[in-house]
Amino acid sequence: MRPAAEAEKLGIPSVVITTTGFTNIARAAGKAEGIAGLRVAEYPGAVGVHSEALVEKNVENVLFDRIVAELTTPGAGDDRIALGAVRRPDEIVLEGTYEEIDDYFKRQLWTDELPIVPPTRERVEAFLRHTKRAPDERIAVLPQANLAAVPWNIAANAVMAGCRPEQMPVVIAAVEAIADNAYNLNNIGSTWGVLPFLLVNGPAAKKLNIESGAQLVNKGANPALGRALGLIIRNIAGYKLSRNYMGTFGYPMNFVVAENEAECPWEPYHVEHGFDRNDSTVTACGTVTWGWPPAIYGTEEKSAAQAALEFLSLEVTKKPCLGRLVERGAHGFRNMITFLIAPPVAKALAGAGYTKQMIRDYVYEHARVPYRELEFLIEYGHSEAFKIPDMVERGLMPREYLVKPDDLVRVLPSPDVINIVVCGDPDRNRLMVLWGGYVSPVTKKIELRDP
């Protein structure tokens, strides 16, 4: 989509070719790049499961005509320069009963289909008292809608989500994090279903009742803050379900976790990434996976630490999209793997002498699959019908992958894609592996302020 948008800016008529279901996201991506009327020709159906004969028929009888029509029909591609929004952030959009307001917001696609707290002027102003920023100060411009996130509309979404006013600094820092180019918010609309989530570190977690212990996703301030993140992505970033937010099977709710620093045997995540221990931070993360959290048990034959390392390595070979990890990890494709490790498992690892970096290095070396398995995943699990030798020749994979069919090959491009967070039930021996394609973690400082 983006090369076509850049060509249009240079005055070169261009057409983006999509398959069914991707047309809306192509136009949204074009608008994000400044081209509101991007020309799109849609191939009918799911090309990946069509026979070669059907593909040829659809290209000759359908797609070619659509390309020509986009390039020759008067009006196609008109109004190509995207216009900015004109609504003021503090504009009152409706007055009425709770039921009328809730119904109106749903019809405008401003909600997550759950009942909201109406963002009245009084409620929004209560949030604004917890930031030194002016109500209309631009915090960021969020793709894909390219709308300005300012304290007023950030607060409105936080109110709708059920947050407390004192949590406003966390939400502002979260907006700064997802807006950072390194995070790559502009590409979360994939049919994979990329789900942004937040990690909170530092004194803010305890002060604002952000849970780091048992059942942390669903307790304390965490559910409301996660919901606020989701509403901001919907209403300011402009990601609308089935338009440009295309998760094939939908999405769970956005979530928030805090690190259990009191039970962490290593440096907390934010200290590891250059912040002071007394700083409060929020890290924008992402995942397309959830699922089974292995229970770790030690025996005389195998310690709990060794079992944990082997489970982490095994989980890395099962949950992520391995072809994407290997194929493009070192060539610009963004990956992040997050290990959520319950305190007892973390302490077992630390007690056995493992640092966070040693854990990363171990998993990097030991997360391997047979060559034939990786070849199958790449050949039949991607739109690019390449075999591994072809990809090595094209520079998409290193030469170490030229091995025999039953030889084991590494699945991680680098130990650095692994993020380790200690959280969860302090009395349970569980861990969770999350993988987020397209995104990279970004950490921002939370500026706490008493009104």
Q: Amino acid identity, residue 205? A: A
CB crowding 235-251: b at 16 or more within 10 Å, else e: bbbbbbeebbbbbeeee
List CB contacts of 312: < 8 A, sequence separation 6 or more.
339, 359, 362, 363, 367, 431, 433
Residue 82 has what pLDDT?
42
Reported as a single tens digit per residue, the pLDDT across 193-206 is 899 999 999 999 99
Structure tokens given for 59: 């290209």
For the question of whether the overall pTM of this predicted structure is more than 0.75, the answer is: yes
Residue 83 has what pLDDT?
40
Q: What angle do CA 384, 385, 386 make, to 5 degrees?
A: 95
Residue 85 has what pLDDT?
47
In a 13 Å sphere around the CA of 62, the CA atoms on its Cβ side amount to 15
Model confidence at 71: pLDDT above 50: yes
Residue 35 has what pLDDT?
74
User: For the chain, how long is the longest CA-to-CA vector?
Assistant: 77
Residue 376 has what pLDDT?
87
Cis status of the peptide bond prior to 144, with omega within 30 of 0: yes
What is the H or E stretch that residue 315 is in?
helix 304-318
Reported as a single tens digit per residue, the pLDDT across 335-369 is 899 999 999 999 999 999 999 999 999 999 999 99
CB 172 within 8 A of CB 166: no
Residue 366 has what pLDDT?
96
DSSP annotation of 33 reads: T
Count CB atoms within 10 A of the CB of residue 107: 9
DSSP annotation of 428 reads: -
- Rounded Cα distance, 178 and 175, in Å: 5
Indicate the domain borders of the chain.
2-72, 98-260, 304-437
Beta bridge partners of 338: 419, 434
